Amino acid sequence: MDNSEIKRILKSVKTGTMTVNSALDSLKHLPYEDIGFARIDHHRTLRQGIPEVIFAKDKKLKDIIAIADSMLKKNSKLLITKTTKDIYKDISLLCKQYNKKVRFYERSGVITVAEAQKKTGMVVVLCAGTSDVPVAEETLVTASFLGSKAEIISDVGVAGLHRLIDAEKIFTRARVLVVIAGMEGALPSVVGGMTDKPIIAVPTSAGYGTSLGGLTALFAMLNSCVPGIAVMNIDNGFGAGVLAHRINTL
Amino acid sequence: MDNSEIKRILKSVKTGTMTVNSALDSLKHLPYEDIGFARIDHHRTLRQGIPEVIFAKDKKLKDIIAIADSMLKKNSKLLITKTTKDIYKDISLLCKQYNKKVRFYERSGVITVAEAQKKTGMVVVLCAGTSDVPVAEETLVTASFLGSKAEIISDVGVAGLHRLIDAEKIFTRARVLVVIAGMEGALPSVVGGMTDKPIIAVPTSAGYGTSLGGLTALFAMLNSCVPGIAVMNIDNGFGAGVLAHRINTL
Amino acid sequence: MDNSEIKRILKSVKTGTMTVNSALDSLKHLPYEDIGFARIDHHRTLRQGIPEVIFAKDKKLKDIIAIADSMLKKNSKLLITKTTKDIYKDISLLCKQYNKKVRFYERSGVITVAEAQKKTGMVVVLCAGTSDVPVAEETLVTASFLGSKAEIISDVGVAGLHRLIDAEKIFTRARVLVVIAGMEGALPSVVGGMTDKPIIAVPTSAGYGTSLGGLTALFAMLNSCVPGIAVMNIDNGFGAGVLAHRINTL
Amino acid sequence: MDNSEIKRILKSVKTGTMTVNSALDSLKHLPYEDIGFARIDHHRTLRQGIPEVIFAKDKKLKDIIAIADSMLKKNSKLLITKTTKDIYKDISLLCKQYNKKVRFYERSGVITVAEAQKKTGMVVVLCAGTSDVPVAEETLVTASFLGSKAEIISDVGVAGLHRLIDAEKIFTRARVLVVIAGMEGALPSVVGGMTDKPIIAVPTSAGYGTSLGGLTALFAMLNSCVPGIAVMNIDNGFGAGVLAHRINTL
Amino acid sequence: MDNSEIKRILKSVKTGTMTVNSALDSLKHLPYEDIGFARIDHHRTLRQGIPEVIFAKDKKLKDIIAIADSMLKKNSKLLITKTTKDIYKDISLLCKQYNKKVRFYERSGVITVAEAQKKTGMVVVLCAGTSDVPVAEETLVTASFLGSKAEIISDVGVAGLHRLIDAEKIFTRARVLVVIAGMEGALPSVVGGMTDKPIIAVPTSAGYGTSLGGLTALFAMLNSCVPGIAVMNIDNGFGAGVLAHRINTL
Amino acid sequence: MDNSEIKRILKSVKTGTMTVNSALDSLKHLPYEDIGFARIDHHRTLRQGIPEVIFAKDKKLKDIIAIADSMLKKNSKLLITKTTKDIYKDISLLCKQYNKKVRFYERSGVITVAEAQKKTGMVVVLCAGTSDVPVAEETLVTASFLGSKAEIISDVGVAGLHRLIDAEKIFTRARVLVVIAGMEGALPSVVGGMTDKPIIAVPTSAGYGTSLGGLTALFAMLNSCVPGIAVMNIDNGFGAGVLAHRINTL
Amino acid sequence: MDNSEIKRILKSVKTGTMTVNSALDSLKHLPYEDIGFARIDHHRTLRQGIPEVIFAKDKKLKDIIAIADSMLKKNSKLLITKTTKDIYKDISLLCKQYNKKVRFYERSGVITVAEAQKKTGMVVVLCAGTSDVPVAEETLVTASFLGSKAEIISDVGVAGLHRLIDAEKIFTRARVLVVIAGMEGALPSVVGGMTDKPIIAVPTSAGYGTSLGGLTALFAMLNSCVPGIAVMNIDNGFGAGVLAHRINTL
Amino acid sequence: MDNSEIKRILKSVKTGTMTVNSALDSLKHLPYEDIGFARIDHHRTLRQGIPEVIFAKDKKLKDIIAIADSMLKKNSKLLITKTTKDIYKDISLLCKQYNKKVRFYERSGVITVAEAQKKTGMVVVLCAGTSDVPVAEETLVTASFLGSKAEIISDVGVAGLHRLIDAEKIFTRARVLVVIAGMEGALPSVVGGMTDKPIIAVPTSAGYGTSLGGLTALFAMLNSCVPGIAVMNIDNGFGAGVLAHRINTL
């Protein structure tokens, strides 16, 4: 439920094509819907510009289905992150009931239900190594789901600068850059030295030993000698996609 | 030295008002100037959109003065962060030689040398407690120095939500929000629930014991339940100002 | 074995309805019962106001059964925390032998054996997200088992303040609040700004990356800018239930 | 400004002894007062049961004085924590202007301005070693300032259990216990085994090496094998005083 | 191979009951035996007073068997720690070949091959909770294997001091105490206040959340306010058994 | 593709035995080959002296096969680290297609495809315990694959100095030493006191409790009282092999 | 006040040379003396074998003097650790009043007041580097104060094994070894491989960067591959002296 | 005292120009000289290829002077690291007595006493920022003192890649590279992608907040995606100089 739908309801009331009572009915789920263990925030789009999204990792399957069911009743779009193939199967069955098209992105475990929409601007996602691709895909799908044009340039880590320099032609076309890296997390600094675009850095948990599950990349990015690089939580491709979309559509 | 100056030089050459040799002289410092212990990157504005800035904290006074001197020779603007009153005094004397107006921001320790310029857009800096004001000032001065309109709303921590709700009217005028907090670092999450603007969060080292010098606020911000909040290093008001300016002027 | 049972024994001796020898027999397990690998503290209620409770997580199944067996012989009540469905099955069989009614709380893994009792006061458990519900249930069941009225308000995280503001009407009815949150752990601070009740905060391990298994939420809560919030160990819903009950029944 | 004062104002309006305009004047500072770098929350007592308190550690002297000045204009009471002798001198001068009696607690660095009031209940503060006394004093003064009777029992660490067992007679008179310890932080567990009162534990930074500035005591307290012990931030005697007062006056 | 065996060999040579060549053969494995991936230190008893012991945790099954095989050829005794039931099965088969009696301690996973021997002194192992029993058993078996009398007193945690005070009569009979605890690790401090015996403290990994896998108990023990308590690595019951034996047999 | 192959191509062009077009074809993969999720750096040997290597740990099986396939098409050699038996099976099948001999090192999980070559110099790998052998093998195989003579001396930990002193005769033949140890990581310091060769230290994750997954050994090595010991990431036998080879072939 | 003094008192009562009342007077300080902020445990020697000792680091000068004064009234001996020259001056004046001889150990900051006594056994303190000498001195003075013969062998770090091997002749004369080292903390392991004596290891804070204030040495010692080494807190020479004395006098 | 001096002595004995007794005198200090608190290792050069060096940071001034005095008596060279101007003054006076030329490097605090010598090979020290210059100077002076040609290229951080690419011409002349950086520590990775030389990386403590005193740079360097980079302790320019010299002179 987004701004345009609400406007449509209000116009219908104004023009008399909808009774006040049925409009009330449509709007009453606005604050949130209480389904016992969860309160679903159907009008989050109004407030935050993006709909409520299901983060699947810490949730039980039946809870995910219940929340998705409540959302699909009221919304045309749905995004679920950090899922597995098993969750996808059940969501897929649910979507059949609502006659909605669902898509599963296997590397990142993202599930989307979305209608065709016009994409604007350009978010470029730079990805240091092949191990970082799942996080990059999460960013790409999120930004795209929200309405941004988006593109991945993968495997441009600092060990082979010429690959990155070749990519420069592409990423100068971006309005905002998301730079994703694990291990020593050096890519955002090097990209930062080559551009005047806003950069969002995402550390990944790729690596072993002193990579400390991504903390090393995170801290490296926070300490970049290039000013103006902002950092997301480890493996948080979704959050980067949201912020990139917001900046891209300013 | 920014884009317009370089264009001016090139036009002067084209129109014959400047000889090729004297133009060469003006441009030869473009790559960087080697002053022994430092290589000054005079054309950083061309590449990154912002000039090279002096971070004073880990540098010796005489090195700061030498770098500032080299910069003032080539540029009309200068920004020095994390300084002290003693550094300000010496920079002040130096600026007299170049007949430049210098300003010292005491709470944050920022020094600026800048000419009047037109400011655009709007960066709003929200600040949780009075202990966080120095970092907020660093952000404000940086964004403003780079050409953005900017404003601080201070002491709107989550312990008194009504102060924050009052501030909402103001921060809806912003194109980008910078939210600064120490201790538990909760303010970005609460602000994030009230807006659809891009948010840059800056943790500060205010607090004691388990505030861990700002790590607690940092980690809290990275884990925000509101998606799309990006985080800077602890006390890095400068970096937040740079990124806010870039987003604000997209 | 609680105060009233001991008084009953002593009165029976006084009135002659029980011989000194049989009273001695009943009381001799008071200090503790040594069952080899464990010393069961049957009279803990006398000293600490709550009976000894079995923490199942680090114990072997056969040890849990042996301790439960020893307890059920002397007590009418039993509480086991952090169990699994398998443990429940065996405890269930054991309870049949003692003809006791047992209940299993699946989300939290708590097992209770208890008789009907009058509940007093009001403990309200506020829970930030659906991933925190298991911990909240552990608190609720514990406080209720000990004799307190208790209620959960779930999914009132700070990303949607209106949900929390709606809940305010309910939690003003409480004598003590337990506030449970993972990720950035901001909910206790925000609730703390809205109430003058004692608040017990419980961080949960919900989250990923820099949530550090709940350490981030823990440290955030310890650093709350709202004074007077006390904090439990990560995921320690049981401890929060005990303390809430003690405060509630002052 | 607390509830009774506001009631008095409203009654005066009702009975006509105060004009609406002058009542308005008295109440208009209710939300907060904006003094530039700070927004002072004069009606915090109404919401949270305790007045706004000045935490001096991270603030500049002139800011502390400005906030204290604003508060003394509206309130009869004032509490400032983590101060130094120098701050006390300036606050002392300020209080002379307002003809208020000020008191400085040297071990803890607490400053109070308060009128005589009736104290209720009983908060007992147990303190493990002589190095923990400053934090204990902060708790005592805070609880007392807010209206609770309070008492310290110092130097009852677990190395000499007989000292603690002697103290038991005293602390059974308490409604709530605050237990303060540095180093290994074992005292709350041992006290917890001897009582059924609510316990608030405060770790201190006393110790060296692996005491990790109090983190060891903090973690030990969070892991107490005695259930129902809640923990404050390191050295946070003030917070413990607030919570103890709230519980004590339930 | 210990001192007495070597003396016997040398005496046999002296009295002529053994040829120089066959004595040489017996002694040649003294320095160590190289079996490719390992160099087995058969004469460690001579140097360090205890034989080489197999730590099974990080080794492959076939390597454990190969080392055990090499040892059983030269020694009458064998100790393997941190094993599983599967390892025990294979070691059991190997011992049959050498016609040696083997014993498996299931809680701790220790395997011993030993002949009857006279035990001396007294090592008392105090154990805070039932979850700590596996580590206590490892200590007991190790000290006993090396020749010390040893005894466990389990479940005497500080939550029920009376259990510990009862145990005092027993542990005053000890020459050295080993005190084992997880969670907050307070037991060594409390025991330390009751005795003048040497105390070896062993933290265990029992607990969750901020127990940090035993680091909290470790740091608490290192910070004991009772002087003279030495600490072993987390869960290192074996090391404690070795040191207790050395002190016990001084 | 290494220097000699490129020279051969260029000579063929010079002598006319190869057309410019077919030479172009051969060289065009020089920069890198884009296979979608990865950009394979075929000419890394030219730049860094060693070919691109596949780190299998964070990659999906089908990605590993795709990258290996691309490499085998252009190179005669291939090195894959941190693999499993399953990966080996599929790589083995792939190599059959290319008619290449593949070898699997089971302890370390390294896979090599290599032609016979002359080895030079001498790298000696010293290994503290049998648990460290997998990392030592990774170093040995890497150095050998790159063209260095290499040898392992295993199980020479500091608990039995005589084993190490015996090994001294061997390691004085080395041009460079790699010293591998887990637990307390003391071996590099002791070896460092006995030699004037360059030493590369590699900490391993062998140990438990406070070994902190190898961090303890790492930090110990970084703090060696013997100057001039450089340290690799935990378990990074491959990196040590690369550096040892570079130093060995200077 | 130790066992022999109490026996003397009791014998005097028995033989009539002391009245019951005056004996009572002498004994009444036995439990402890309450001097307000501290409870002095005059009979600690009876319980723990060592007298109460003043740890000066976290205490105010006037508190140290007050405690020392209370102790000197009842005891003939006094030990104060972690002092400064300033504290020594004041204690020196105090001792003059009691006509007691005081001694200050400048490197370690230990102050002792003691009478001539016969020393027994032998504690040898091995010290890795000259920076560790202050901690070694604290151990030596403590063990000696308590009645043990004690000796330091300094600067025998593992970088020069021959120095350690020379020292071996001396330390085989010990009943117990204390091994002190900072930086990588390797000395206890190497010594442990050369002896069958009990070893107490003490990490020091000597070093920089990743020495982490002594945590690296501490963790290394806890992970020693030589079994049976127990570890004290960082820089805790006093505790090591106490434990060494206890073991030495078994 | 190095190999050539010893050979000279032995030859003098052989040729009769030195008596056996006076040769004995010259050699008797070979093992080490015991000066009480220190054992000076005069023949370290023989064993480790570099002389014993004084690390001044944790030592008292009078101890430094005593050790230096003992060394100057036996050696013609002396290196002291991490000193201050005050130490330099006293060493300067001492050197006058021995008629030796001393030099003080102010940025790094290194003191050298050395004779003219022929330098060989080439060590290039790359330095990311001006704040890292002190550590770079320590490396340069150490390598040079030991006999290597050495050169610094400063301020070539990754924020301005063109500065680094210019420097490439210079560092290809090196036999070994030392790369020094603080903050995010990215420079070694980027340099590593441009060269086939051995690289020694040195993290510095430059930075603030999450730079964690250099741990972030350290961990980033250990996790470099470029294989074969070895890392030193934070700020350990001396160690890097030693290792670089050893590699350079192979």
pLDDT category at G15 given cuts 50, 70, 90 is confident
- Interface membership of B130 toward C (CB under 8 Å): no
- Interface membership of G139 toward D (CB under 8 Å): no
- Please state, in angstroms and rounded to a whole number, the distance separating the CA atoms of residues B19 and B17: 7
Q: What is the pLDDT of residue B85?
A: 95
Q: What is the pLDDT of residue G115?
A: 85
Contact A208 F235 (CB under 8 A): yes
- Interface membership of C31 toward D (CB under 8 Å): no
Q: Which residue did the predictor score with more confidence, E225 or G31?
A: E225
Chain B environment of A226 (Cβ under 8 Å): 48
Q: What is the pLDDT of residue B33?
A: 72
Q: What is the pLDDT of residue A1?
A: 42
Q: What is the pLDDT of residue C31?
A: 55
DSSP sequence for E46-63: HHHSS---EE-TTS-HHH
Average pLDDT, chain H: 88
Instruction: Check pLDDT > 60 for residue C48.
Output: yes
Instruction: Check pLDDT > 50 for residue G1.
Output: no
Which of these, C117, C181, C182, lies nearest to C150 by C-alpha position?
A: C117
Average pLDDT over residues B23-42: 65
pLDDT tens sequence across D163-208: 888 888 888 889 999 999 999 999 999 999 999 999 999 999 999 9
- Please state, in angstroms and rounded to a whole number, the distance separating the CA atoms of residues G241 and C250: 48
Q: What is the pLDDT of residue D198?
A: 97
- Interface membership of F131 toward E (CB under 8 Å): yes
Q: What is the pLDDT of residue A243?
A: 97
Instruction: Check pLDDT > 90 for residue E9.
Output: no
Residue H79: alpha-carbon gap to chain centroid: 8
Residue C70 Cα, gap to closest chain B Cα (Å): 42
Q: What is the pLDDT of residue B83?
A: 96
Token pair belonging to F41: 């750096």
Which of these, D52, D40, D57, D49, lies nearest to D110 by C-alpha position?
A: D57
- Please state, in angstroms and rounded to a whole number, the distance separating the CA atoms of residues F12 and F16: 6
Chain G environment of F225 (Cβ under 8 Å): 128-129, 157-159, 183-184, 186
Chain E environment of C233 (Cβ under 8 Å): 208-211
Instruction: Check pLDDT > 80 for residue F44.
Output: no
Instruction: Return the percentage of chain E with pLDDT > 70, whole number.
Output: 88
Give the single-character DSSP code of H39.
E
Q: CB-CB: which of B184, B215, B222 is closest to C189?
A: B184
Instruction: Check pLDDT > 90 for residue B22.
Output: no
Say what angle helices E215-222 and D215-222 make with each other, to 10 degrees: 120
Q: Where are the beta strands (DSSP E) in F87-172?
A: 102-105, 110-113, 120-127, 148-154
Q: CB-CB: which of E50, E239, E250 is closest to G250?
A: E250
Which chains share 3+ C-beta pairs under 8 angstroms with G?
Answer: D, E, F, H
pLDDT tens sequence across D200-243: 999 999 999 999 999 999 999 999 999 999 999 999 999 999 99
Q: Work out the angle at residue A51's Cα, subtended by the Cα atoms of residues A48 and A54, and round it to the nearest 5 degrees.
A: 125
Q: Taking the CA of residue G16 as centre, how many other CA atoms within 13 Å lie in the half-sphere pointing to its CB?
A: 0
- Interface membership of G143 toward F (CB under 8 Å): no
Q: CB-CB: which of E31, E82, E234 is closest to F210?
A: E234
Q: Flag whether H touches B (3+ CB pairs, 8 A cutoff).
A: yes
* Burial class of residue F5 (count of CB atoms within 10 Å of its CB; 0-12, 13-18, 19+): middle
Q: CB-CB: which of F194, F230, F240 is closest to H200?
A: F230
Which of these, B95, F247, E101, lies nearest to H197 by C-alpha position?
A: F247
Instruction: Check pLDDT > 50 for residue C41.
Output: yes
- Please state, in angstroms and rounded to a whole number, the distance separating the CA atoms of residues G159 and H243: 16
Q: What is the pLDDT of residue D24?
A: 58
Residues contacting residue H170 through CB under 8 Å, at least 6 positions apart:
H124, H151, H153
- Interface membership of H185 toward A (CB under 8 Å): yes
Chain B environment of A242 (Cβ under 8 Å): 227-228
Average pLDDT over residues A64-87: 92
pLDDT category at F75 given cuts 50, 70, 90 is confident
- Interface membership of D230 toward E (CB under 8 Å): no
Q: What is the pLDDT of residue G74?
A: 80
Instruction: Check pLDDT > 60 for residue B178.
Output: yes
Q: What is the pLDDT of residue C116?
A: 85
Q: What is the pLDDT of residue F1?
A: 43
Token pair belonging to D238: 């003030």
Token pair belonging to B209: 């014991």
Residue G5 Cα, gap to closest chain D Cα (Å): 21
- Interface membership of F142 toward A (CB under 8 Å): no
pTM reported for the whole predicted model? 0.91
Lowest mean pLDDT among B235-239, C42-46, C147-151: C42-46
- Please state, in angstroms and rounded to a whole number, the distance separating the CA atoms of residues D189 and D227: 9
Q: Flag whether D touches C (3+ CB pairs, 8 A cutoff).
A: yes
- Interface membership of G231 toward E (CB under 8 Å): yes
pLDDT category at G24 given cuts 50, 70, 90 is low
Helices (H), chain H: 3-15, 20-27, 44-48, 61-74, 85-98, 133-146, 161-171, 187-192, 215-222, 237-248
Q: CB-CB: which of E228, E239, E240 is closest to G242?
A: E228
Token pair belonging to G118: 């016969």
Q: Which residue did the predictor score with more confidence, A36 or E231?
A: E231
Q: What is the pLDDT of residue B93?
A: 96
Residue H242 Cα, gap to closest chain A Cα (Å): 25
Whose tokens are 């208790």? That residue is C150
Chain D environment of E167 (Cβ under 8 Å): none
Average pLDDT over residues E188-204: 95
Q: What is the pLDDT of residue E58?
A: 83
- Interface membership of F36 toward G (CB under 8 Å): no
Q: In residues, how long is chain C?
A: 250
Lowest mean pLDDT among B126-130, C20-24, F209-213, G56-60: C20-24
Residue C6 Cα, gap to closest chain D Cα (Å): 17
Q: Which residue did the predictor score with more confidence, F22 or G108?
A: G108
Which of these, F108, F237, F245, F122, lies nearest to F181 by C-alpha position?
A: F237
Q: What is the pLDDT of residue H230?
A: 95
Which of H164, H179, H184, H231 to mutate to test binding with chain A, by most A CBs within 10 Å of its CB?
H184
pLDDT category at G217 given cuts 50, 70, 90 is very high
B228: number of Cβ within 10 Å: 28
Instruction: Check pLDDT > 50 for residue B29.
Output: no
Average pLDDT over residues E97-113: 95
Instruction: Check pLDDT > 70 for residue C65.
Output: yes
Q: Which residue did the predictor score with more confidence, E106 or C16?
A: E106
- Please state, in angstroms and rounded to a whole number, the distance separating the CA atoms of residues A163 and F194: 45
- Please state, in angstroms and rounded to a whole number, the distance separating the CA atoms of residues F220 and G184: 4
Q: CB-CB: which of H130, H156, H206 is closest to B63?
A: H130
Q: State the count of interchain CB pairs (< 8 A) between F and G.
A: 112
Which chains share 3+ C-beta pairs under 8 angstroms with A?
Answer: B, C, F, H
Three-state DSSP class for residue C202: strand
pLDDT tens sequence across B81-118: 999 999 999 999 999 999 999 999 999 999 999 988 89
Structure ipTM:
0.88
Buried-state track G83-106, b at ≥16 Cβ within 10 A, e below 16: beeebbeebeebbeeeebebebbe
Q: What is the pLDDT of residue B165?
A: 83
CB-based contact D124:D180 (threshold 8 Å) = no
Average pLDDT, chain E: 88
- Interface membership of F163 toward E (CB under 8 Å): yes
CB-based contact E23:E12 (threshold 8 Å) = yes
Which of G58, G81, G83, G135 to mutate to test binding with chain D, by most D CBs within 10 Å of its CB?
G58
Q: What is the pLDDT of residue E162?
A: 80
* Phi, psi values for residue D215, rounded to 5°: -60, -35
Average pLDDT, chain D: 88
Average pLDDT over residues A192-220: 95
DSSP sequence for C22-51: HHHHHHTTSS-EE-SS-EE-TTHHHHHSS-
Q: Flag whether G touches C (3+ CB pairs, 8 A cutoff).
A: no
Contact A183 H223 (CB under 8 A): yes
Residues contacting residue B203 through CB under 8 Å, at least 6 positions apart:
B181, B182, B185, B214, B215, B217, B218, B220, B221, B231, B232, B234, B235
Buried-state track B50-69, b at ≥16 Cβ within 10 A, e below 16: bbbbbbbebbbeebbbbbbe
Average pLDDT over residues A165-171: 84
Which of these, D198, D177, D57, lies nearest to D123 by C-alpha position?
A: D177
Q: What is the pLDDT of residue F4?
A: 60
Contact B39 H208 (CB under 8 A): no
Residues contacting residue C31 through CB under 8 Å, at least 6 positions apart:
C43, E162, E163, E166
Contact F220 G222 (CB under 8 A): no
Token pair belonging to G75: 């005891």
Encoded amino acid at D50, one letter? I
Q: Which of residues 199-228 of G touch E (CB under 8 A)?
A: 199-200, 218, 222-223, 226-228
Instruction: Return the percentage of chain D with pLDDT > 70, whole number.
Output: 87
Which of these, E64, E80, E67, E60, lies nearest to E34 by C-alpha position?
A: E67
pLDDT tens sequence across G231-240: 999 999 999 9
Instruction: Check pLDDT > 80 for residue A26.
Output: no
Residue D143 Cα, gap to closest chain B Cα (Å): 20
Which of these, B47, F1, F30, H187, lies nearest to A163 by C-alpha position?
A: F30
Instruction: Check pLDDT > 80 for residue E193.
Output: yes
Q: Which residue did the predictor score with more confidence, D102 or A46?
A: D102
Residues contacting residue E67 through CB under 8 Å, at least 6 positions apart:
E35, E38, E40, E54, E59, F130
Q: What is the pLDDT of residue F33?
A: 72
Residue C75 Cα, gap to closest chain E Cα (Å): 18
pLDDT tens sequence across H31-88: 567 777 777 766 667 667 778 899 999 899 999 999 999 999 888 889 999 999 999 9
- Interface membership of H131 toward B (CB under 8 Å): yes
Residue A115 Cα, gap to closest chain H Cα (Å): 40
Q: What is the pLDDT of residue D1?
A: 43
Lowest mean pLDDT among C177-181, F100-104, H2-6: H2-6
Residue G136 Cα, gap to closest chain F Cα (Å): 18
Contact G160 H39 (CB under 8 A): yes
Contact D234 B130 (CB under 8 A): no
Say what angle helices E85-98 and E61-74 make with each other, to 10 degrees: 30
CB-based contact F157:G225 (threshold 8 Å) = yes
Q: What is the pLDDT of residue A5?
A: 61
pLDDT category at F18 given cuts 50, 70, 90 is confident
Instruction: Check pLDDT > 70 for residue E165.
Output: yes
pLDDT category at H221 given cuts 50, 70, 90 is very high
- Interface membership of E161 toward D (CB under 8 Å): yes
Lowest mean pLDDT among C108-122, D63-77, G175-189: D63-77
pLDDT category at H236 given cuts 50, 70, 90 is very high
DSSP sequence for F194-240: T--S-EEEEE---S-GGGGGGHHHHHHHHT-SSTTEEE--TT-HHHH
Average pLDDT over residues G206-219: 96
Instruction: Check pLDDT > 60 for residue E3.
Output: no
Instruction: Check pLDDT > 60 for residue D117.
Output: yes
Contact E227 G247 (CB under 8 A): no
- Please state, in angstroms and rounded to a whole number, the distance separating the CA atoms of residues D76 and D89: 19
- Interface membership of C29 toward E (CB under 8 Å): no
Q: What is the pLDDT of residue F163?
A: 83
Which of these, D203, D242, D237, D196, lies nearest to D220 by C-alpha position?
A: D203
Q: State the count of interchain CB pairs (< 8 A) between A and B.
A: 101
Contact E208 C32 (CB under 8 A): no
pLDDT tens sequence across B38-77: 777 666 666 677 788 999 998 899 999 999 999 998 888 8
pLDDT category at G219 given cuts 50, 70, 90 is very high
Q: Flag whether F touches C (3+ CB pairs, 8 A cutoff).
A: no
pLDDT category at A46 given cuts 50, 70, 90 is low
Contact G189 F129 (CB under 8 A): no
Q: What is the pLDDT of residue D139?
A: 98
Which of these, B37, B245, C118, lies nearest to H128 by C-alpha position?
A: B37
Question: Among all residues of chain G, which has the CA nearest to that of E178?
Answer: G230
CA distances from E44 to A179, E3, E75, E90, F160 (A): 56, 10, 11, 25, 8
Residues contacting residue A96 through CB under 8 Å, at least 6 positions apart:
none
